[in-house]
Structure 1
Amino acid sequence: MRTADALRTLSSAAGSQRGLITTAQAARVGIDRTTLTRLATSEALTRVRHGVYALPGSDHDPHQDLRAAWLGTDPKRFADERAHDPSSPAVSHASAAALHGIGEVIPARHTFTAPTRKQTRQSDICYRRARLDDSAITVIDGISITTIPRTIADLAAEHTDMEYLAAVVRDATGAPQADLGDIAVALNPHAPAYGHTTGADLVQALLEIAGPPAAALQILQYAPSALVSRVVPERT
């Protein structure tokens, strides 16, 4: 296949992936490994990481490295085929916090959660095993990722430093995809590990540490009972 024809085929296939394509995806559209290697050698493609290539113009993607790592976790399927599928690995933990734009730490490795055990030889990728239902997954810029409440709960489950967790919760209160009550509910199982009885108590303590936005202060000041009622079941 001529270079121009191969690039057109790959570009069409990678439309939902910001110009990235995996070796397995390329095979699905008739481009074999030898052709990919030839295109990369001639610099018509750029090898981003093992098994993932970038087409010309894809360098404008601010999430390219994470996207390439995510595509590599389920390399045969295209992004739009797996984005809402809980059986496919999703970005999670500190990597999810970074993609959501909450918190202050840049993760050293890309973290993904998958329902089955997965291993990798790539040192910048780590997996967590857990089942995610539909309500725990959302999509940002075409990438499957845990929701903000689930992300915060995952960080708490790993005993994340309280100051870092506080910054995550503080930033989350300003995100349109997050609800303070949902965050409190998600934190309820982890509150005792941080010395609190309920998720609502923990949220309030975290916001006191980080310095909450005005909107969060108003929620806690004027509706604490409503928040607590969502976290603590009524006694029977």
Structure 2
Amino acid sequence: MDRTEQVAVLSEAAADQWGLVTSAQAKELGVNGVQLLRLTEAGLLSNVGRGVYLLTAVGVPPHLDVKVAWLRLQPKKFLWERPAGDPDSGVVSHASACQLLDLGDIPRPRSRDQRPAPAHHDGALRPLAYREGRADRDHHS
């Protein structure tokens, strides 16, 4: 598969995932790690989180940090393969949900797991706190 075909395959999948694709998804599509590296070096992809790539032509989507974290919960599954309410898909809650929905001026969650922002990003990705718990299916929106 040549570079044009690689970008086309990744673009098709990323179109429904905010311009993002995981390395596990890329592998499912026939694009290996070396090819991802070469596409990144060529400026066609940007590594925005461990194992998550952004097609640079798309631009940075809003709330990138939340979307990257959500994709990393099930890196092999595409967005359209994740049923609503699946307990393994994760739920955005607390301060992150308020920020995602523009519900007031909520402070960023504190986390000991802070990591530096990717080189392409002009602002720091905010740290996300992961909480484990059971979500009531009747309260999903």
Instruction: Give the shorter-chain TM-score range.
Output: 0.7 to 0.9
Deviation of the 1:80 alpha carbon: 2.1
1:122/1:74 Cα in 2 relative to 1: closer, same or farther (>3 Å)? farther
- Please list, as runs of the form range in 1=range in 2, the aligned pairs for 1:219-230 lying within 5 A after superposition: none
Q: In the alignment, does 2:14 pair up with 1:20?
A: no
1:21/1:28 Cα in 2 relative to 1: closer, same or farther (>3 Å)? same
Q: Secondary structure at the match of 1:128?
A: coil
Consecutive unaligned residues in structure 1, runs of 5 or more? 111-120, 139-236
- Whole-angstrom distance in 2 between the partners of 1:99 and 1:23: 25
Does structure 2 conserve the Cα–Cα contact (< 8 Å) formed by 1:86 and 1:137?
no
Q: Which has the higher strand share?
A: 1
Q: Secondary structure at the match of 2:25?
A: helix
- Whole-angstrom distance in 1 between the partners of 2:64 and 2:58: 8
Q: Secondary structure at the match of 1:46?
A: strand
Deviation of the 1:105 alpha carbon: 1.9
- Whole-angstrom distance in 2 between the partners of 1:69 and 1:77: 13
Does structure 2 conserve the Cα–Cα contact (< 8 Å) formed by 1:21 and 1:52?
yes
Dislocated runs of 4+, deviation >6 Å: none
Partner letter of residue 53 of structure 2? Y
- Whole-angstrom distance in 2 between the partners of 1:96 and 1:10: 28
- Which stretch has the larger CA shift, 17-26 or 75-84? 75-84
TM-score (norm 1): 0.50
Q: Counterpart of 1:96? A: 97
TM-score (norm 2): 0.80
CA RMSD, 1 decimal: 2.1
- Whole-angstrom distance in 1 between the partners of 2:64 and 2:83: 16
Percent identity between matched residues is 38
Does structure 1 conserve the Cα–Cα contact (< 8 Å) formed by 2:48 and 2:68?
yes
- Please list, as runs of the form range in 1=range in 2, the aligned pairs for 1:80-119 lying within 5 A after superposition: 80-82=80-82, 84-87=84-87, 88-108=89-109
How many residue pairs match? The answer is 128
- Whole-angstrom distance in 2 between the partners of 1:16 and 1:106: 29
1:91/1:6 Cα in 2 relative to 1: closer, same or farther (>3 Å)? same
The structure with higher relative contact order (CA 8 Å, sep 6+) is: 2
Does structure 2 conserve the Cα–Cα contact (< 8 Å) formed by 1:44 and 1:56?
yes
Deviation of the 1:82 alpha carbon: 1.8
1:71/1:54 Cα in 2 relative to 1: closer, same or farther (>3 Å)? same
- Please list, as runs of the form range in 1=range in 2, the aligned pairs for 1:54-203 lying within 5 A after superposition: 54-82=54-82, 84-87=84-87, 88-108=89-109, 122-123=113-114, 124-138=127-141
- Whole-angstrom distance in 2 between the partners of 1:102 and 1:72: 25
Consecutive unaligned residues in structure 2, runs of 5 or more? 115-126
Deviation of the 1:85 alpha carbon: 3.1
Q: Secondary structure at the match of 2:130?
A: strand
Does structure 2 conserve the Cα–Cα contact (< 8 Å) formed by 1:73 and 1:89?
yes
Does structure 1 conserve the Cα–Cα contact (< 8 Å) formed by 2:43 and 2:56?
no
